[in-house]
Amino acid sequence: MSGASEPVGRRASLLATVGTHALLVLASIAALYPVLWVLKIALQPGQSFDNDPSPFPSSVSLEHFVEVTSTTTASGGWLFGRQLFNSLAVSGLTTAVGLLLATSAAYAFSRFRFAGREAGLTAFLLTQIFPGIVMLIPLYILLDLMGLLNALAGLVLVYSTTSVPFATWMLKGYFDTIPKELEEAARIDGASSFYIFSRIVLPLARPALAVTALFSFMTAWNEFILAATLMNDASSFTLPVALQRYVGEYQTDWGSFAAGAVIVSVPVMALFYALQRHLVGGLTAGAVKG
Amino acid sequence: MADTGSASVQLDGVHKRYGDVHVVKGIDLDIAPGEFVVLVGPSGCGKSTTLRMIAGLEDISEGELRIGGRRVNETPPKDRDIGMVFQSYALYPHMTVADNIGFALKLRRTPPADIEARVREVAAILGLGDLLQRRPGQLSGGQRQRVAMGRAIARRPSVFLFDEPLSNLDAALRVQMRAELAALHRDLGTTMVYVTHDQVEAMTLATRIAVLHQGVLQQVGPPMTLFQRPANRFVAGFIGSPSMNFVDGVLASDGTGPAFSGPSGLVVSMTHVDAGAMPAGAKLTLGVRPHDLVVGDAGPLRGVVRTVERMGWEAFVHVDVAGTTLVARVEGPLAARVDLGDSLALAVPDGVASLFGADGVALGRRRS
């Protein structure tokens, strides 16, 4: 390369850098603007929905947050607390049940060759093709037969049916990337199958477990349609269903609705923050194989 | 686990089939305690499968395997008293070097103080003392290789199994680790079964080499026996680098005994070979090693140099003799001087060449 061409190359790369950053800034604004708007509506007093394009509130008050979190039942109990507990319990249990069943299933699918393996994997994949709403009526009838309508356990069961196949596929893809020799070495060293699974494979699959847990939790936490249909008593509502009461037929309490939306998104954000170290590795690992 | 020293390994008509695919076709091999046996052969010859059957990682389809005189066909790997080193090292990535080495001892409920002492002892043998608290990801290839060996020896097994342990290392490190392995065998005296496709590793490490081809044992013997008296054409071509030269021809007689008659008037006296009842004119293949060919200005074979591989003091020249390429070794001034297009004369001295019948089996040698 001659010396004269160097500045040209440097200018070109500078232009590219500026262009890339400009694009990223634009994308960030596009992503953040609606979020800021929700924050603005949540913090601004009154239930109005003004057309001011500024994403910043003109005055700040926490009245909507107080209103949303201090709802009570007819008997005077703390309704919001009850609903928060419902959401946490349903999402947490769905994640726990999903992961517990999916890790062992995924390990079997990844490592063992047995009759029905291919069919099982295909069946698991098929369940992911249909949106949950398609199964709404059958699920309603099944839960009714089992007496689990309006019960948290019923909701956990319903969510697990979709989270287990998804988690199984995610984890199987990751288990496939863990070298078989590690397990063979452990077998020669004297480890039992369960020991190998719990002490060698699971610790190595931690990134995939983190991602899968996060997805399971988020899906259950955000789910609205199934919960709204299967739960009919305000004290068994999850938070997304509870928020619905601010959207009325003739009038919508936008301020309360926005405050509720902010509150609902906080736990998921916290989880993302806590698990972000694992997220990148886990997402790519799942993406490469499986 | 008791310190049992070193055990014998016997394979008795061992077969391995995967469905219709017959991978290992009846191997009989008797390995004495303390031997270093290298299973060698090209990719897919069944050597790794054989080793994995000894380890218990593959089921034996037919035949019997005994370790220390005890039938172990159905014994799980952990109870066979073996240690294994894998090609990929297979170190536990989430454990420290010390935990990797001590893993098997921990599983056997050895007291922690004993584990620590043993790990230190092994680390000292392998020069890993400073690395005990590191994780495998922080080690170089050679260090990982040592940790893998350390994990295998920590338990003092009576048989070590190695599955191409050096093939992931660069050339210089491979030479160094080869020497360390040989020293380890000398110091521990434990039976070692070693799989490789590299005939140099086989020649330098083995007390006996077992050559496998297409699931069949071709020849078992000390390295120099295989080199000087290959049982068949496959072994002759596989052992030795560069490979043995082969020339097709027929059996003749030169008055004093059998002779080989090849193309372009090549006649080599073969009085050291026992042709038995083979008739004159029977199809034969002459095998002669590059270093046995005499290169000079005069000789029965004349050809043109097509390729020169210079090693320094010596060089290998590929000489085109009437359409057949023969590889010869030259040394000293000639190695520096020889060049493409040169015309060279080659001669095959009496008593060095091997003869193979049409079926590839080597003709016996006459007792002198």
**A204 min Cα distance to partner chain B (Å):** 7
Euclidean distance between the first and final Cα of chain A, in Å?
Answer: 44
A190 touches chain B (CB under 8 A): yes
Determine whether the interchain pair B103/A182 forms a contact, defined as Cβ–Cβ distance below 8 Å.
no
What integer is the mean pLDDT of A255-270?
90
Residues of A in contact with B82 (CB under 8 A): 188
Residue ranges of B 260-319 with Cβ closer than 8 A to chain A: none
Rounded-to-integer distance, Cα B50 and Cα B56, Å: 10
A233 touches chain B (CB under 8 A): no
Can you tell me the ipTM of this complex? Answer: 0.84
CATH of domain B244-357: 2.40.50.140
The CA–CA distances, whole Å, from B316 to B210, B243, B291, B302, B325 equal: 28, 11, 9, 16, 12
The count of other CB atoms within 10 Å of the CB of residue A230 is: 21
Give the length of chain B.
368
Nearest to B92 among A184, A190, A200 (CB): A200
Determine whether the interchain pair A186/B77 forms a contact, defined as Cβ–Cβ distance below 8 Å.
no
Determine whether the interchain pair B82/A188 forms a contact, defined as Cβ–Cβ distance below 8 Å.
yes
- Confirm if B313 and B335 have CB atoms less than 8 A apart: yes
Determine whether the interchain pair A185/B155 forms a contact, defined as Cβ–Cβ distance below 8 Å.
no
A49 touches chain B (CB under 8 A): no
Band (pLDDT 50/70/90 cuts) for residue A284 is: low
Superfamily of domain B9-237: P-loop containing nucleotide triphosphate hydrolases (3.40.50.300)
B57 touches chain A (CB under 8 A): yes
pLDDT in tens, B249-294: 999 887 788 889 888 778 888 888 888 878 888 999 999 999 999 9
Strands (E), chain A: none
- Confirm if B284 and B251 have CB atoms less than 8 A apart: yes
* H helical segments located in B24-75: 47-55
B78 touches chain A (CB under 8 A): yes
Higher pLDDT, B66 or A126: B66
pLDDT in tens, A100-151: 999 999 999 999 999 999 999 999 998 888 887 888 899 999 999 999 999 9
CA dihedral B29, B32, B36, B40 (to 10 degrees): 0
Q: What is the mean pLDDT of chain B?
A: 92
- Whether residue A85 has pLDDT greater than 70: yes
Alpha carbon A91 to chain centroid, angstroms: 9
- Whether residue A277 has pLDDT greater than 80: no
Rounded-to-integer distance, Cα A262 and Cα B37, Å: 70
- Confirm if B188 and B125 have CB atoms less than 8 A apart: no
How confident is the model at residue A280, as a pLDDT?
A: 67
Nearest to A179 among B57, B76, B88 (CB): B88
Question: What's the token pair of residue B132?
Answer: 């005990």
Determine how β-strand B70-71 pairs with β-strand B245-253: unpaired
Euclidean distance between the first and final Cα of chain B, in Å?
Answer: 52
Nearest to A189 among B93, B94, B104 (CB): B104
How confident is the model at residue A286, as a pLDDT?
A: 43
- Whether residue A288 has pLDDT greater than 50: no
**A182 min Cα distance to partner chain B (Å):** 5
Band (pLDDT 50/70/90 cuts) for residue B5 is: confident
Residues of A in contact with B151 (CB under 8 A): 185, 189
Determine how β-strand B301-310 pairs with β-strand B343-347: antiparallel
Rounded-to-integer distance, Cα B13 and Cα B22, Å: 13
How confident is the model at residue A73, as a pLDDT?
A: 82
- Whether residue A9 has pLDDT greater than 80: no
**B352 min Cα distance to partner chain A (Å):** 45
Residues of B in contact with A204 (CB under 8 A): 93-94
- Whether residue A246 has pLDDT greater than 80: yes
- Confirm if A239 and A71 have CB atoms less than 8 A apart: no
pLDDT in tens, A54-71: 888 888 888 889 988 888
Contacts 24+ apart (CB under 8 A), A69-76: A69/A263, A71/A242, A73/A234, A73/A235
pLDDT in tens, B138-163: 998 889 999 999 999 998 999 999 99
Closest to B228 measured CA to CA, from B239, B220, B218, B217: B239
pLDDT in tens, B192-208: 999 999 999 999 999 99
- Whether residue B81 has pLDDT greater than 90: yes
What integer is the mean pLDDT of B92-100?
93
Return the percentage of chain B with pLDDT > 90, whole number: 75
Nearest CA in chain B to A179: B90
**B142 min Cα distance to partner chain A (Å):** 18
Determine whether the interchain pair A185/B84 forms a contact, defined as Cβ–Cβ distance below 8 Å.
yes
Residues of B in contact with A179 (CB under 8 A): 88, 90
Residues of A in contact with B94 (CB under 8 A): 203-204
Determine whether the interchain pair B86/A185 forms a contact, defined as Cβ–Cβ distance below 8 Å.
yes
Most A CBs within 10 A among B78, B151, B161, hence the mutation to make, goes to: B78
Rounded-to-integer distance, Cα A67 and Cα B185, Å: 79
Top mean pLDDT of A44-58, A60-74, A275-289, B50-64 is at: B50-64
Determine whether the interchain pair B76/A181 forms a contact, defined as Cβ–Cβ distance below 8 Å.
no
Nearest CA in chain A to B105: A189
**B15 min Cα distance to partner chain A (Å):** 21
- Whether residue B92 has pLDDT greater than 60: yes
Residues of A in contact with B57 (CB under 8 A): 184, 187-188
- Confirm if A110 and A177 have CB atoms less than 8 A apart: no
pLDDT in tens, B210-225: 999 999 999 999 999 9
| Assigned fold of A66-288 | MetI-like fold (1.10.3720)
Task: Write down the domain spans for chain B.
Answer: 9-237, 244-357
Nearest to B57 among A182, A184, A200 (CB): A184
A195 touches chain B (CB under 8 A): yes
Most A CBs within 10 A among B57, B110, B164, hence the mutation to make, goes to: B57
How confident is the model at residue B257, as a pLDDT?
A: 82
Task: Write down the domain spans for chain A.
Answer: 5-61, 66-288
- Confirm if A196 and A187 have CB atoms less than 8 A apart: yes
Nearest CA in chain A to B101: A189
Determine whether the interchain pair A191/B84 forms a contact, defined as Cβ–Cβ distance below 8 Å.
no
Answer whether the bond into residue B242 is a cis peptide, omega within 30°.
Answer: yes
Residues of B in contact with A181 (CB under 8 A): 86-88, 90
